[in-house]
Chains A and B, each alone.
Chain A
Amino acid sequence: GAVVSQHPSWVICKSGTSVKIECRSLDFQATTMFWYRQFPKQSLMLMATSNEGSKATYEQGVEKDKFLINHASLTLSTLTVTSAHPEDSSFYICSARAVAQGSSNQPQHFGDGTRLSIL
């Protein structure tokens, strides 16, 4: 259980293109999804928190107009990198947290990431 699917897994595109990445929770409902970025040999950096039906909360230094997040349903969040440039090339990873079951704390479950390469 607790499977998070991310699509696409790899994308290469030209500078100036906008790229959409999808994150789906396959077997559970997620009120909250998170988007991370990871550069080679570095740890994950939280970019934004996405709550179903409301605007995403961005971390300091993350441009909300550059990284558009939509969380339209309890199983889908999308990240759109608008007008991507080579410096946006990175490994983008989403995670989802299940709707709380009683008093038990639900951990985040991660997708397998999207490798974005901007030429």
Chain B
Amino acid sequence: LAKTTQPISMDSYEGQEVNITCSHNNIATNDYITWYQQFPSQGPRFIIQGYKTKVTNEVASLFIPADRKSSTLSLPRVSLSDTAVYYCLVGDWDDYKLSFGAGTTVTVRA
């Protein structure tokens, strides 16, 4: 399983854009990159998934460079309710077994 490295924590203020970069140097050809958000005492919530280039949905954007050795989750105009732990994972699209790293604790302040 490809190992991921992300910052342990990030602080931001309401209305700002938050960018979290994840390193996955050993990503394999069949691996997808997926980001999840987790609030305390809840299961992780799917945010976005991509394979290469840029993916955008209603809540976030995911930027993946050509070598796919890293990815950046971009959260536009965060609010207090975006305070959570964000996990970057890579998984094979055949068996899709995921290995969670430590995640990034994002704290949004007023």
Contact = CB atoms under 8 A, between A and B. Distances in A.
B32 A105 contact: yes
Nearest to B101: A43
B96 A97 contact: yes
Given A34-B98, A43-B101, A43-B102, A105 B43 contact: no
Interface string B92-109: 010111111111000000
Contacts of A49: 95, 97
Given A46-B98, A97-B96, A105-B93, A112 B42 contact: yes
Contacts of A46: 97-100
A95 B45 CA distance: 10
B103 A43 contact: yes
Tell me whether chain B's interface is mostly helix, strand or loop, or mixed.
Answer: loop
Interface string B16-58: 0000000000000000101010000111111001010000000
B52 to A, nearest CB: 12
A71 to B, nearest CB: 15
Interface residues on A, range: 20 to 34
Contacts of A115: 41
A106 B105 CA distance: 26
Contacts of B97: 34, 46, 49
B43 A110 contact: yes
A91 B100 contact: no
B103 A113 contact: no
B4 to A, nearest CB: 11
A12 B66 CA distance: 49
Interface of A: 2, 4, 6, 32, 34, 36, 43-46, 49, 91, 93-95, 97, 105-113, 115
